[in-house]
């Protein structure tokens, strides 16, 4: 009897065209799985094709707010992965519709098709949080586990990697602004985690080597305050900028206006998120529900971030070198 190879196994990835999605697609393509990427606009998912062999990655149309399209994308798949998430609300893209009801739809589709499920949530998910984002993520975890008790849930801290929205955003702001804001004094603690490590953790769960029904908390090797992260950005891009503490209530007032930008720099909901530390819990560490528990040694920011923030230096890669002539 021949062993079943991964190329016989179809995995559907909802939200596979996003930042984390690209890395998950790459990790699973390397393992030889067949990959169906379920996206709202398949014609815009062409960037995924070079990550696999010809015919290995196929994009189909699905909107997580439309149960029938979620269900259709799940057909014949052995594993479903849900990476769909939004940082701010726009039009019909509401936290509850996308992150809670949508997540439950994926779990129900997994059940209907006998597929396993890996669901991506976020550290800070809490049904009692003042942040709507955090409440919708927590409600999703509850509904996902009740529809599919064997699901594996991954809660990352803030993700970093070449196309990230955190280091790139503040480095870009430092290029045009004389100051960077320290919301709430910049004391909130984060545990930035490399997007490639989170993708590796998801691939391990797809292989069936993560604990079913568990919530993993994924953080990098170092915990840093927001202020330390801003200092790190400035050192890396070799720029001097003022770091200006902004009390939460003033940040909230600013966010009330900024939230109307096409891609808001800050929303009142994000200010609420910034009030709470975003780090792996003691319970997760004790129970091995971490990257290390999955056998992954996380990359520090120093190993990755300078490789893509150099473009924010004054002279980019053309930094002046001093030649010593003896």
Ligand X SMILES: NC(=O)c1ccc[n+]([C@@H]2O[C@H](COP(=O)([O-])OP(=O)(O)OC[C@H]3O[C@@H](n4cnc5c(N)ncnc54)[C@H](OP(=O)(O)O)[C@@H]3O)[C@@H](O)[C@H]2O)c1
Residues near ligand X, by CB under 6 A: 15, 17-21, 39-41, 63-65, 83-86, 93, 98, 120, 122, 156, 158-159, 165
| H-type alpha helices, 98-176 | 102-113, 132-147, 167-176
CB of 25 to ligand X, least distance (A): 11
CB of 95 to ligand X, least distance (A): 10
CB of 19 to ligand X, least distance (A): 4
CB of 18 to ligand X, least distance (A): 2
How far, in Å, CA of 41 to CA of 60, rounded? 8
Query: Measured from the CB atom, is 21 or 52 closer to ligand X?
Result: 21
Which residue's CB atom is positioned nearest to ligand X?
Answer: 18
Tell me how far CA of residue 81 lies from CA of 199, 246, 320, in angstroms.
11, 38, 46
Q: What is the dihedral of CA 23, 26, 30, 35, to 10 degrees?
A: 120
Query: Measured from the CB atom, is 35 or 158 closer to ligand X?
Result: 158
Query: Measured from the CB atom, is 127 or 238 closer to ligand X?
Result: 127
Query: Measured from the CB atom, is 242 or 261 closer to ligand X?
Result: 261
**Cβ–Cβ contacts within 10 Å for residue 122, how many?**
24
What value does the CA radius of gyration of the chain take, rounded to a whole number of Å? 20
Query: Measured from the CB atom, is 91 or 178 closer to ligand X?
Result: 91
Instruction: Say whether 130 sits in a helix, a strand or coil.
Output: coil
CB of 192 to ligand X, least distance (A): 8
Q: Which two tokens stand for residue 95?
A: 């936290």
């Amino acid at each position: 009897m021949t062993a079943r190879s991964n190329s016989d196994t179809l995995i559907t990835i909802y939200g596979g065209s996003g930042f984390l999605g690209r890395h998950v697609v790459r990790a699973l393509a390397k393992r030889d799985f067949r990959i169906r990427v379920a996206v709202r606009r398949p014609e815009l998912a062409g960037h995924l094709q070079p990550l696999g062999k010809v015919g290995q990655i196929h994009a189909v149309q699905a909107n997580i707010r439309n149960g029938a399209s979620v269900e259709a994308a799940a057909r014949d798949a052995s594993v479903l992965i849900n990476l769909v998430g939004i940082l701010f609300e726009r039009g019909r893209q509401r936290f509850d519709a996308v992150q809670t009801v949508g997540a439950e739809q994926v779990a129900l589709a997994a059940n209907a098709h006998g597929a396993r499920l890996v669901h991506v949530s976020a550290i800070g998910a809490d049904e009692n949080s003042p942040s709507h984002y955090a409440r919708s993520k927590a409600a999703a975890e509850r509904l996902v586990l009740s529809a599919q008790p064997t699901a594996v849930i991954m809660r990352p801290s803030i993700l970093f990697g070449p196309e990230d929205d955190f280091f790139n955003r503040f480095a870009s702001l430092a290029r045009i602004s004389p100051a960077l804001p320290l919301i709430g004094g910049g004391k909130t603690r984060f545990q930035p985690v490399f997007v490639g490590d989170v993708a590796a953790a998801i691939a391990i769960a797809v292989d069936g080597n993560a604990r079913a029904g568990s919530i993993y908390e994924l953080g990098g090797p170092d915990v840093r305050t927001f202020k330390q992260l801003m200092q790190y950005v400035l050192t890396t891009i070799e720029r001097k900028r003022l770091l200006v503490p902004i009390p939460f209530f003033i940040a909230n007032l600013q966010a009330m206006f900024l939230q109307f930008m096409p891609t808001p720099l800050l929303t009142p909901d994000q200010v609420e998120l910034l009030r709470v530390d975003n780090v792996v819990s003691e319970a997760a560490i004790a129970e091995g529900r971490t990257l290390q528990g999955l056998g992954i040694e996380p990359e520090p920011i120093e190993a990755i971030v300078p490789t893509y923030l150099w473009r924010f230096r004054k002279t980019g890669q053309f930094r002046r070198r001093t030649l010593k002539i003896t």
